[in-house]
Structure 1
Amino acid sequence: MQNIDELINKTDPAWPLVLKWIDSARNKVEILPCDSSRAKDALFNTQVSTYSTLGAVIYNSGGIMIDNGWIRILGSGDSRLNRSVPEWNKGKTIKEYGDKPDYLLVADDAVGGFFAINYGAFGSDLKNIYYLAPNSLKWEPLGAGYSEFVRFCFDSDLSQFYKGLRWSTWNQFIANLDGNKSYSFRPYLWSPEGIDIEKCTRKLVATEDLFKFNLNKQKELNSSSSSE
């Protein structure tokens, strides 16, 4: 494991570039404050340099909220998004800090979608972002690395990306949403007959529970489809 001084890049850190992207962002972007000691712990436990965009976000933010918190990009944790990248991955993609994961969870959204960096779990396109879509329960490639994903969050038409997953009054519910909670829907968004989001009932649940539930359902669906 590299020590914290080796991970903090003083000559060419990525954060100034991230701030430039935020200055010109088309979507609403909010940087959550970070505690310096917590930021150092998170950076050390993730073992990434601040030369990288991922390291810069972890070390310089408690997380980044997009569209009032519809998307939550994980950093080093804050009261409104009380989980860091390494804390969130421990017990899911790694057993202990310093382990090399097959994929790394780096962001999620209010409707139970999860974004992860591929380190071999999903295919040969290493370091590209995949999205565990709540309406398919499949890891879908975004064809972008982490930096491009951050810029996608800042600048892309999210209403198009989330077509069919945003109900008409969604923005009235998101602004005060706890970053550790997500919406669960009935009927399930991945129901084979298809759903109308406007007719679904919504319930706030712990994002942790929803992730585990989605993975379990994904295994069930995969096993049932492979046995057909």
Structure 2
Amino acid sequence: MRELDELINVSDPAWPHLLELLASSATPVEVLPGDAAEGHRALQQMQVTARSALGGLVLNSGGLVVDHGWVRVFGGGSAGRGMPSLAEVNQFPVGFDPTWHPAAGLVVGHDVVGGVFALNGHDPAAVGRPGEPGQMTYFAPDTLAWEAMEMGHSGWLSWLFSGRLERFYDGLRWPAWREEAAALAFTQGITVYPFLWSKEARADLGATRRRPVPMREVLGVAADFARQMGSADPGFLGEV
């Protein structure tokens, strides 16, 4: 086990590089103020250093609000703004436990319609997820299945800032999505009916009925339908 000082005090921390990426981002991004204690808790439990993008993010920010609030990237948490921490979302132990590891991998971000960005654990096949260990995967709310992203966490952050989200979410955003996403609390998502995986929603997304609900409800409904419709159980989608 590495002590907290070893994880924090590194010669080449990732945070200055992340700040450069943020400054040149083609996508609107807000950096939230962080909770130092929560950042330290996450860093120690994960045993990653501030040299990594993941470590730099939890240590130096409360999280990122991307593209008018459509995507939330979890960091050290921001209690004053209501953003849960990476440790809370993944149900880390209260105190450091060297025997504990996230069974399915690490949930590192959500989007407001129930999409989940997760970093694969050491054996993704064992929990029915595609991709290699250490790669990003995405639980898609319109297919109710996990998709391999073929990039690591730092590559995923660069991708978020690259301006390619518009294409990625083609077919999942309606005309007023910016205003509706920006109005949400960070523990809320948007329920869409008919559901995003239905023929009706695909035919005319703008005609769907939408309302803000707890994010736990959005994720729970998606997981229930994934199981009922014969897809693999998506497993843990994060606790918000």
Cα deviation code 1:33-58 (max 9, x no counterpart): 11222321232233322111111111
CA positional deviation for 1:127: 0.9
CA positional deviation for 1:211: 1.9
Match in the other structure for 1:60: 60
Tell me whether 1:173 sits opposite 2:175 in the alignment.
no
Match in the other structure for 2:28: 28
1:1-228 map, 5 Å:
1-78=1-78, 79-90=80-91, 98=98, 99-101=100-102, 102-119=104-121, 120-121=123-124, 122-123=129-130, 125-191=132-198, 195=202, 196-222=204-230
Three-state SS of the structure 2 residue aligned to 1:202 is: strand
Would you say how many aligned residue pairs link Structure 1 and Structure 2?
Answer: 220
Identity among equivalent positions (%) equals 35
The answer to whether the 8 Å contact 2:131/2:150 transfers is no
Cα deviation code 1:60-93 (max 9, x no counterpart): 10001111211100001113343111210118xx
The answer to whether the 8 Å contact 1:182/1:206 transfers is yes
Report runs of 4+ in structure 1 exceeding 4 Å deviation.
Answer: none
Unaligned runs of 5+ in 2: 233-240
The answer to whether the 8 Å contact 1:46/1:97 transfers is no
- TM-score, normalized by length of structure 2? 0.84
Q: CA RMSD in A?
A: 2.0
Aligned partner of 2:87: which letter?
P
